[in-house]
Structure 1
Amino acid sequence: MADILMISGKVKYTITLDPSTWIFDDRRIDLTTYFTKGEEEKDTLAEYTKAVSKHWDREIMEGAVFPPTLKTEKKFEKEKVLTGTFGMLFKPFLENAEPEETATALVIMTDDGETELPIEEAYEVILKFSDNGKPLTSTGPVHVYYGDGSNQKNPIKNVRGFLVK
């Protein structure tokens, strides 16, 4: 129960977060590359076109059968999940909680005290939940990184909950 986090306070809905399940979530982000390459704007049409091109090229080169390389790609993806360092954007959780219009700040409650952020900056927060494939048990369940990565060397640890003020 200690690994469960809550978003409460000046919100329409109190949200319960369980970081131990996020490894299965497709929204997870790879923190080994996230701050170095920056957040890229996604062009869905361009992504779709590239995916279709790749598939078309594969069919032309290898035929319309499922080549054995698909199995190795799946194995690589599974290996990446088991050994990667991942985080989640805090924005969707905060949006689902629906902060009141009078809300001005997010308080991150930890074992060591409290850290207060303006609500606008809170939408950019990233919650690290996995380090080299392992959950953050001793200093977790999550580490909090600012959206700009300015506290990358010294993230907020031992988080116990979030309070919208």
Structure 2
Amino acid sequence: MNNIIPISGRVKFQLTIDPSVWIFDERKIDLTTYFDEERVEIDEIEQYSKAVAEHFSREIKEGAEIPKPVSPAKKKTQKETLLNGTFGIKMKPFIKNAEPEAGAEKVMISTADGVHSFSMEEAGELILAFSKNGKPLREDGPVHILFEDGSNRDNPIKNVRKITIS
């Protein structure tokens, strides 16, 4: 069970996160390209709401659409990407789901080597890398902590054991 990371402290809900299942999470980030491409910040809830509204309007006007089957070649490409990819996920949704108490200011990341402290805003932008070349980070994982700007991608924070909000 050393691949489970608890989130505790001044939170409404104490969570345990399991990086081994994130490969199926649609919020995952492809770290092979993430730091090299230009990004525009988007509000995920607003984007989702717009997409649902557009879909609803289209169904009202045109009727329900029968989804087209995914071609076998596309399925194979997607599977190869998952099996060989290097991925991470932002820490923000996990902090949000834990619901920090009013007045909580810091996020402490405990590793085998010590404790790293971040403000709530900084911690929300951290990336939890969970796989490299299609393999889980077993030796020095279960996750590596990367900064949003990629400045530590060659020397990430490793051996994460727990996350404490204080």
Q: TM-score range by the shorter chain?
A: 0.7 to 0.9
Residue 40 of structure 1, CA deviation:
2.9
Residue aligning to 2:62 = none
TM (norm. structure 1) is 0.82
Please identify which structure carries the higher helix content: 1
Residue aligning to 1:156 = 157
Residue 41 of structure 1, CA deviation:
3.7
Matched position secondary structure for 2:107: strand
Aligned sequence identity (%): 52
Matches within 5 A, 1:5-154: 5-42=5-42, 44=47, 70-154=71-155
RMSD after superposition: 2.4
Total equivalences in the alignment: 149
| 1:18-54 deviation per Cα after TM superposition (whole angstroms, max 9, x unaligned) | 0011111111110001111143345959xx7xxxxxx
TM (norm. structure 2) is 0.82
Matches of 1:44 and 1:9, distance apart in 2:
32
Gaps of 5+ in 1: 49-65
Residue 148 of structure 1, CA deviation:
2.1
Q: Runs of 4+ in structure 1 displaced over 4 angstroms?
A: 42-45
Matched position secondary structure for 1:144: strand
Gaps of 5+ in 2: 52-67
